[in-house]
Amino acid sequence: MATALVAQYGSASKLYLSWDAASWHMSKKLNAFVEDHNKTAASRHEPVLELAPLPASAQFLNVIESVFSGMARSIIHGSDYESKAAAQSAMDSHFKARNEHFQAHPQRAGKKIWGKERVAADFNESNNCKDPAYR
């Protein structure tokens, strides 16, 4: 993902990668990639990468939680898929439709891509993006 972000936002001077502090999000491979990338980023005219993990127990600050909560309500809650593959297919279709709409209508993607969130998906200290019903 970091490689794709560098390619897409190559004209930026710096890109911030942020996530909540869940232990499974810590990656030695990512840290090594960022360190290696940053050593030569300037000479390649690419953005420097900076890691900005959120504090522990602050997943409610993670805006992507709003998107995942919306997806869970749209696809998972109250569902009765006949198999794991059927559930995965429903998730893939959900994100494929959202991504296709965004690519076709980048200036008007907001109402299609956002809208099923528990709260407005923006960085705000009073915003609890995490669905309290989600474990």
Angstrom distance (rounded) from CA 17 to CA 115: 24
Kindly report the pTM of this predicted structure. Answer: 0.53
Residue 45's pLDDT is 94
Q: What is the pLDDT of residues 64-118, one digit of tens each?
A: 676 777 778 778 888 889 999 999 999 899 888 878 877 887 665 455 555 555 5
**pLDDT tens digits for range 10-53:** 999 999 988 776 666 677 888 899 999 999 999 999 999 998 87
In this prediction, residue 111 carries a pLDDT of 56
If 0-12 CB within 10 Å is exposed, 13-18 middle and 19+ buried, where does residue 37 land?
middle
